[in-house]
Amino acid sequence: MTVAIKGISLFMLLLIILALVALMIPALINLVQQMPDVSHAVAKHGTDAYYARECRDGWELRMYNPQTQRTGFICMTSAGKFGIVILDRFGEEVTAFLRDKNKTLEQVIRYMRNRGYELLQ
């Protein structure tokens, strides 16, 4: 027995709905990509977080915290300051910031060691 709604079978109605959903997927993806960055890093550190994110791709040093299972990526950013990006064990960003107070890499390493991080490189 086929159920029909004003001459349209249930199967045909389902196909129409699926086609409409398929057409909406690119628009939804575009909408998600345009969402503002509301991460902890940007909320707390503002534009410094964007500079620090340079360290994800061009890091000079990696450090690991065995207690939190987080990895820190450290680099000299285009802002002329050391940046730190912290990723969790799944590779998701926890935070990203610049170290204004630290003028040398040794100072940044000391800062990270004081927070439980160990050198990986």
Summarize pLDDT for 78-117 with one digit per residue, the tens: 999 999 999 999 999 999 999 999 999 999 999 999 999 9
pLDDT at 80: 95
Tallying the residues shown for the chain, one arrives at 121
Domain shared by 64 and 98, yes or no: yes
Domain shared by 28 and 46, yes or no: no
Average pLDDT over every residue of 63-76: 97
Domain shared by 81 and 45, yes or no: yes
Judge whether 55 and 74 are in contact, CB under 8 Å: yes
pLDDT at 40: 80
Domain shared by 14 and 67, yes or no: no
Q: Is the pLDDT assigned to residue 37 strictly greater than 60? A: no
Domain shared by 18 and 67, yes or no: no
Residues forming a β-bridge with 85: 73, 96
Domain shared by 104 and 71, yes or no: yes
Q: Report the predicted TM-score, pTM, of the whole model to 2 decimal places.
A: 0.67
Domain shared by 78 and 99, yes or no: yes
Q: Is the pLDDT assigned to residue 27 strictly greater than 80? A: no
Judge whether 104 and 76 are in contact, CB under 8 Å: no
Enclosing domain of residue 78: 40-119
Domain shared by 88 and 59, yes or no: yes
Domain shared by 44 and 24, yes or no: no
